[in-house]
Structure 1
Amino acid sequence: MNITQEKIDNLNAVVKINIDPADYQGRVDKAIKDHAKKANMPGFRPGMVPPAHIKRMYGKSILVDEVNNLLSDTLNNYITEQKLEVLGQPLPKVDDTQQYNWDFADKFEFNYEIGLAPEFALDFSSKDKLTQYVIKIDDETLAERVKNIRRSYGKMTNPDVSAEDDVLYAQLTQLSPDGSVFDDGISNTTSVRLEQIQDADIKKSLIGLKKDDDVTLDIQKAYNNDTPKVAAILGIDEAEAADLKSNFKLTVKNVNRLEESDLNQEFFDKLFGEGVVTDEAGFKAKITEELESMMSQDAERKLQNDIYNYSVDKVKFDLPDDFLKRWLKVTNEKLTDEELEGGYNDFAQNLKWTLIENKIIKDNNIEIKYEEVFAAAKQSLDQQFRMYSPTPIADEQLSQYAVQYLQNKENANKVFDEVKALKTLDYIKSVITLDKKDIFYNDFKALAK
């Protein structure tokens, strides 16, 4: 067997593999004998089929399989031995001029295109600067949060006249263009939350209504053409909602109002435990603390995203783009040329980041231990469980779930990659300069869009 590599350029090469009969004959003979031992054929006792008979009937298919297996093993071993850092997977070059008889005497020649990872240097230092935002809670955000919490612990009342934040329990009836009721049209009884109405004039028209009052509602305008919202309000599917042009008659059946809970000791104790908070100032300070703790996660996500973008822009190197595009087409048969061109830049950016990650991990001897992957899996599962129940799961049971979760190879690789990314980001954060900057939450939301 002879293996050679022809360098096309720094990012592309062709590996040529020449195979003689002596290279594959032993594997083929063994495969035929193994097949004979397992064969169950008419006229022969199980396991007693002569190998010559198997060779006559299935020899060519066995030969093809064994040559393919030999090729795969040989190519993988060559890449490992030569320490080639390949991108994607080797692609066989089709040569229509070569014809093989597959008669156990052929010499084979196979060529594989490979894409090579680029060589590049990293030069992160304190001269590289990024902003690390520290989110502060503005009065508007705090007031909205306080209002929502007070309403969560408040009581429902039924006032005579609707106000700005009320909920109208109403009948919605589809109207014809002339304003009459549409025969066999859409009709649904539902709750209309006035705070969700997007159009100011329509919202104003719904304030001051009493039971049995009627108003005409342009539902698409009311919800700013939010198809899922319109579909949910009318009880129809989204396809029908998207094409809907009709106005609706809204008939008030009841006005519901959620009164805010009083700011008293009973309320404070329900929220934070007995005696932890004793007055309104302490209540607002506690809510501010909790909000800023939650918002710190948003700030960290933005910082991570900024580091990602900064890194892939700063570290300059080329990729074997033509090869990678061919590889993506081969491995994704349904991928259209338009989809490939539209999504390739994101793919290339993610690949660049992966190469930067790998180099940082390697150059700095950063270890990723099982204990870290296990802890990350536990944390992720704990967050998922808390979405459905505020009561935390016992640590021992959570550990059992984490063990089961990581037994799935795909899950384990996913968590490993997450830990790897966090370690890479932590390294970059330790090297560059992070300028901390206070910012109000509403300003941060506008910045993060």
Structure 2
Amino acid sequence: MNITQEQVDNLNAVLTININPEDYQPRVDKAIKDHAKKAKLPGFRPGMVPAGHIKKMYGKSILVDEINNLLSDSLNNYIDEQKLEVLGQPLPKVDDKKEYNWDFNDNFEFNYEVGLAPQFNLDFTSQDKLTQYVISVDEETLAERVKNIRRAYGKMTNPDLSADGDVLYAQLEQLSPDGSVFDEGINETTSVRLEQISDEAIKASLIGLKKDDTVVLDIQKAFGNDAAKVAGLLKIDEETAADLKSNFRLTVKNVNRLEESDLNQEFFDKLFGEGTVTTEEEFKAKITEEQESMLQQDAERKLQDEIYNYALSKVDFALPDEFLKRWLKATNEKLSNEELEGGYGDFAKNLKWTLIENKIIKDNNIEIKYDEVFSVAKQRLDAQFRMYSPQPLTEEQLGQYTVQYLQNKENANRIFEEVKALKVFDYIKSVVTLDNKEITRSEFAKL
């Protein structure tokens, strides 16, 4: 067997594989004998079917299978031995002029297109400057978080009159242009959250209402022409909601108010465990610490995004785009040309970043250890659990969940790639210059 490589250009090559009978015959003979041992055919005892009979009946299909297996093994071995950095997978070149008898005496020739990874240099230095934001927890942020937590642990009441922040359980009836109820129109009993009303004048008209009061409102104006909110409120699809022009009559059925929990020991114990926090000052200190941690994570994600885009702009190289598009089409049969062209830009960006990652990992001998993957997986699970309950799991419980989570190969690969990216970000941060910039949460949100 002979494999040759023809370099088309720096990013594309063609591999030609020539296979002779002596290359595939031993594999085919073995496969036929193995098949004979397992075959169950009328007139023959199990395992006693002659190999010649198997060859006569199934020989060509066995030959095709073994040629394919030999091609796969040979391609992979050649790529490994030659240390070729290929992108995607080799694509067979179809040659309609070549015809084979498949009679166990053919000499075969197969051609494969391969896309090659580009060669490039990395030159990150201290001259490269990026902004690292330091976000402060202002009084507004702290007050908002405290309010949300107190409401989460509060109780529902039904006051006589509505106020800002209440929820109106109400009947909404679609009106005709003359102001009468549209008999065949939308008639829905639903919950209207006053905090979601974007028009201040309309919100004001819904404050101070009591049971059975009615108000006519422009529902599109009330929700700032947000089709998703209107659709959810009226239980219709978004397309219908976007085209809705009618006014609605709102009739109050009930006023619901979520009262904030008292800042007492029972509340503190529910949040942090018995006796951990005993005063309002300690409570606010804990919430401030939590917010600082969350804002630090937000700032870190922003920096990672800046590094990602900066690296892509600084390390400029080409990809074998036409080959990659053919490979994507070959491996995704349902992918349309429009979808391919629309999504290829993002695919290429992510592939370039992967190549940058791999080069940094290789050039700097960066290792990714299991305990690092376990630690990140544990952090991610802890954050998810805290979304549903402020009371954290014990270390033992969290460890057990993490072990189970990483037993799933897809989960393990995802966390591995995340750790890999974090190590690359850390490397780049250690080389470039980071200019710290203090900023408030509201200013950061505008970014």
Aligned to 1:75: 75
Aligned to 1:59: 59
Q: Which moved more, 1:375-384 or 1:347-356?
A: 375-384
- Distance in 1 separating the partners of 2:312 and 2:228: 37
Alpha-carbon offset, residue 97 of structure 1? 0.9
Residue type of the partner of 2:217? L
Q: Residue 8 of structure 1: SS of its match in structure 2?
A: strand
Q: Which moved more, 1:309-318 or 1:258-267?
A: 258-267
Residue type of the partner of 2:432? I
Residue type of the partner of 2:315? V
1:37-186, aligned counterparts within 5 Å?
A: 37-186=37-186
Aligned to 2:209: 209
For residues 331-366 of structure 1, give each alpha carbon's deviation from its aligned partner in whole angstroms, at most 9, with x where no partner exists: 111111121111111111111111111111111111
- Distance in 2 separating the partners of 1:405 and 1:273: 27
Instruction: Provide TM-score, normalisation by structure 2.
Output: 0.92
Instruction: Provide TM-score, normalisation by structure 1.
Output: 0.92
- Distance in 2 separating the partners of 1:165 and 1:391: 27
- Distance in 1 separating the partners of 2:278 and 2:383: 30
Count of matched residue positions in the alignment of Structure 1 and Structure 2: 447
Aligned to 2:430: 430
Alpha-carbon offset, residue 238 of structure 1? 4.5
Residue type of the partner of 1:310? Y
- Distance in 2 separating the partners of 1:139 and 1:379: 28
Q: Residue 61 of structure 2: SS of its match in structure 1?
A: helix
Q: Residue 163 of structure 2: SS of its match in structure 1?
A: coil
Aligned to 1:360: 360
- Distance in 2 separating the partners of 1:405 and 1:99: 51
Alpha-carbon offset, residue 287 of structure 1? 3.4
Task: Say whether the 8 Å CA contact 2:272–2:391 is kept in structure 1.
Answer: no
- Distance in 2 separating the partners of 1:289 and 1:53: 78
Residue type of the partner of 1:160? D
Q: Which moved more, 1:159-168 or 1:268-277?
A: 268-277
For residues 48-85 of structure 1, give each alpha carbon's deviation from its aligned partner in whole angstroms, at most 9, with x where no partner exists: 11111111111111111111110110011000000001
Alpha-carbon offset, residue 277 of structure 1? 6.7
1:312-331, aligned counterparts within 5 Å?
A: 312-331=312-331
Aligned to 2:347: 347
Residue type of the partner of 1:57? M
For residues 116-146 of structure 1, give each alpha carbon's deviation from its aligned partner in whole angstroms, at most 9, with x where no partner exists: 1111111111111111101112333333333
Task: Say whether the 8 Å CA contact 2:175–2:248 is kept in structure 1.
Answer: yes
Q: Residue 41 of structure 1: SS of its match in structure 2?
A: coil
Residue type of the partner of 1:211? K
**Where does structure 2 lack aligned partners over 5 or more consecutive residues?**
none
Distance 1:409 1:155, change over 3 A: closer
- Distance in 1 separating the partners of 2:282 and 2:410: 47
Task: Say whether the 8 Å CA contact 2:270–2:391 is kept in structure 1.
Answer: no
Alpha-carbon offset, residue 282 of structure 1? 6.0
Aligned to 1:288: 288
Aligned to 1:385: 385
Percent identity, aligned pairs only, is 78
- Distance in 1 separating the partners of 2:133 and 2:299: 6
**Where does structure 1 lack aligned partners over 5 or more consecutive residues?**
none
Distance 1:279 1:45, change over 3 A: closer
Q: Which moved more, 1:178-187 or 1:266-275?
A: 266-275
Q: Which moved more, 1:45-54 or 1:392-401?
A: 392-401
The root-mean-square deviation of aligned C-alpha atoms, in Å, is 2.4
Residue type of the partner of 1:360? I
Distance 1:374 1:290, change over 3 A: closer
Q: Residue 415 of structure 1: SS of its match in structure 2?
A: helix
Q: Residue 192 of structure 2: SS of its match in structure 1?
A: strand
- Distance in 1 separating the partners of 2:266 and 2:16: 80
Residue type of the partner of 2:406? L
Q: Residue 338 of structure 2: SS of its match in structure 1?
A: helix
Distance 1:408 1:159, change over 3 A: closer
Residue type of the partner of 1:169? Y
Alpha-carbon offset, residue 189 of structure 1? 2.2
Q: Which moved more, 1:109-118 or 1:279-288?
A: 279-288
Aligned to 2:198: 198
Distance 1:153 1:411, change over 3 A: closer
Alpha-carbon offset, residue 152 of structure 1? 3.9
- Distance in 1 separating the partners of 2:102 and 2:206: 82
- Distance in 1 separating the partners of 2:116 and 2:199: 56
- Distance in 1 separating the partners of 2:210 and 2:102: 88
For residues 3-62 of structure 1, give each alpha carbon's deviation from its aligned partner in whole angstroms, at most 9, with x where no partner exists: 110111111111110111111111111111111111111111111111111111111111
Aligned to 2:332: 332
Q: Which moved more, 1:330-339 or 1:170-179?
A: 170-179
